Amino acid sequence: QKTSICYLSFPDSYSGGLGDTQFSFRLRQAGGPRNSPFQDDGKYNREAPVTLQREAAHYFGYVYFRQVKDSSMRRGYFQKSLVLVSRLPYVNLFQCLLQLIAPEYFDKLEPCLEAVCNEIDQWPPPVPGQTLNLPVMGVVIQVRIPSRVDKPGSSPVKQCNQENLLPAPLVLPSVHELDLFRCFQPVLIHIQMLWELMLLGEPMVVMAPSPTVSSELVLALTSCLAPLRYCCDFRPYFTIHDSEFKEYTTRTQAPPNIVVGVTNPFFIKTLQHWPHILRVVELRMSGDLPKQVKVKKLAKLKTLDTKPGIYTSYKTFLHKDKTLIKRLLKGIQRKRPSEVQSALLRRHLLELTQSFIIPLEHYMASLMPLQRAITPWKNPPQIRPFCQEDFMKSLEHAGPQLTCVLKGDWLGLYRRFFKSPNFDGWFRQRHREMTQKLEALHLEAICEADIVAWMKDKSEVEIVDLVLKLREKLVRARCQHLPVKEETLQRVSLYIDTIIGSLPEDLQAVLHHP
């Protein structure tokens, strides 16, 4: 794993550029599950947006690479990287942190890192919804950690902290949001197609001139489904030394559901059997709409001298949204700042995703049993099964056409989506949340019931069975952090004690000390 991190921390193809560059990668964890240094029993993941949850099986690496001429070195260059490894996808925060630390580290080496680590050790853990002040090297980084209850698409809440921080803090507008307009510069007219490919979890290769372009473009692509979680694998930067290299380049099976960013021209040859390949050149922000890549046939993919383009035979289900391009063009002509253009783009993608997902959310909610069907002395009723055909019928009167002006084959897009890992991930999460809600409602129904009346005609065996079931429910509610008020749990606990108190002493002793 350390070797993989080392290979991923350097450009893997010739880079004539001198100076400092930053990029990121994502790495599959080797071996079994590891304990995180923050034992928060999953509290962070329950409160964070699904797109910002802490990863259990992957690490993110954030790199600051320096390459300068140095005649004292054997190769004639000073080449060094400082890498920050985390389970959190806070690309902005960690890259900003590296901009502060890395230049100092390259000059002063280990003692500087030790001082920085001591400062970072004192940082509070990230709590969704809170604004954190993070002191490092004489600077205070101020950043708000997004929360699941934030309204999607709303601008970050401006929080005025009471303490007068001196020096004035370095305020980051977002822990993770990239400059989408800059990242998507060469493919703005194809944003619809790229959104569909991401939604369907299609295998895609991003071939870029540098790890910076590669990693930013891959992260931008996977973020364009927010607030829906991209449930497939993704590698913002991938090298030929990676342990999964054989798995991805084999032609004996279909490519996996993954977006992979590469820079080595060798990949043009080894990955040309993949169905969607996006080739881009170095991004240059100019005062005009940058040259847009064309969609080309996969057969035109030549080795080494491959021109920029989207090499695919994919036909989009939805029609292109020309109004978005017109608005972005107008923004370029009026010299609107990049962050304003990015906000426009992000809003468009959010509305598109919401138009697609809201009918699914409504249908899923209709599968929940009625509250009156939940009775205290029976197991809670089951959630009805998801029937694709019933869902399709519901689209006639409650489909995306209610919230989206885009025309096209929405039904075809849903059918294809049902086969993707993104549907599977979304459905599992929703089903889990609904099951927990049912459990919570059942506990509340038990609290409202007249337990003494129920016990009158029951045998000791039935009463003991009830005690054991209630205990199990209580343990589950606490372990799974069900959405139940603490007073409800305390009342159930009191119920259990009341029931045990009504039993003969020998049974009481057994139930008090099982």
Give per-residue pLDDT as tens, 402-425. Answer: 788 888 999 999 999 999 999 999
Query: What's the rounded mean pLDDT across residues 281-305?
Result: 76
pLDDT, tens only, 324-374: 989 998 998 898 999 999 999 999 999 999 999 999 999 999 999 998 888
What is the percent of the chain with per-residue pLDDT over 90, rounded to a whole number? Answer: 53
Stronger pLDDT, 505 or 9, i.e. the higher one: 9
Strand runs labelled E in 270-419: 277-279, 295-296, 309-311
**Which has the minimum average pLDDT: 36-45, 253-262, 486-495?**
36-45
pLDDT score of 164: 58
Stronger pLDDT, 496 or 287, i.e. the higher one: 496
* Chain centre distance of CA 405: 27
Please say if the pLDDT value at position 305 is more than 70.
no
Cα–Cα distance for residue pair 11/208, rounded to 1 Å: 11
Give 285: exposed, middle or buried? Use CB within 10 Å, 0-12, 13-18, 19+.
Answer: exposed
Cα–Cα distance for residue pair 465/286, rounded to 1 Å: 73
Long-range contacts of 465-469 (CB under 8 A, 24+ apart): 466/499, 467/496, 467/499, 467/500, 467/511
pLDDT, tens only, 151-161: 876 655 454 44
Q: What is the dihedral of CA 195, 197, 202, 207, to 10 degrees?
A: -80
Residue positions counted in the chain: 514
Backbone angles phi, psi at 144, to 5 degrees: -100, 135
Answer for the pair 263, 11: CB distance below 8 angstroms, yes or no. yes
pLDDT score of 292: 87
pLDDT score of 167: 67
Q: Which part of the chain is CATH 3.40.50.11500?
A: 179-424
Cα–Cα distance for residue pair 132/225, rounded to 1 Å: 27
**Which has the minimum average pLDDT: 165-169, 366-370, 372-376, 464-468?**
165-169
pLDDT score of 155: 59
**Which has the minimum average pLDDT: 24-28, 256-260, 392-396, 510-514?**
510-514
Please say if the pLDDT value at position 485 is more than 60.
yes
Please say if the pLDDT value at position 399 is more than 60.
yes
pLDDT score of 505: 81
Stronger pLDDT, 492 or 171, i.e. the higher one: 171
Query: What's the rounded mean pLDDT across residues 102-112?
Result: 88
Query: What's the rounded mean pLDDT across residues 207-218?
Result: 95
Please say if the pLDDT value at position 38 is more than 60.
no
CA 144 vs CA 48, 67, 219, 444, 471: distances in Å? 12, 33, 20, 35, 39
* Confidence band, pLDDT 50/70/90 cuts, at residue 140: very high
pLDDT, tens only, 43-68: 899 899 999 999 889 999 999 999 88
* Confidence band, pLDDT 50/70/90 cuts, at residue 208: very high
CB atoms within 10 A of CB 218: 29
Between helix 211-223 and helix 191-199 the angle, nearest 10°, is: 70
| Range among 378-382, 457-461, 502-506 rated most confident | 378-382
What is the percent of the chain with per-residue pLDDT over 70, rounded to a whole number? Answer: 92
Tokens of 59: 């690490």
Contact partners, residue 390, CB within 8 Å, separation at least 6: 363
Query: What's the rounded mean pLDDT across residues 75-93?
Result: 91
pLDDT score of 72: 82
pLDDT score of 418: 98
In the chain, DSSP finds a helix count (H) and a strand count (E) of: 18, 12
Contact partners, residue 116, CB within 8 Å, separation at least 6: 101, 105, 136, 137
Average pLDDT, the chain: 88
Stronger pLDDT, 290 or 185, i.e. the higher one: 185
Contact partners, residue 387, CB within 8 Å, separation at least 6: none
CB atoms within 10 A of CB 99: 13
Give domain 179-424's CATH architecture: 3-Layer(aba) Sandwich (3.40)
pLDDT score of 165: 59
pLDDT score of 162: 44
Q: What is the 3-state secondary structure (H, E, C) of 430-457?
A: HHHHHHHHHHHHHHHHHHHCCHHHHHCC
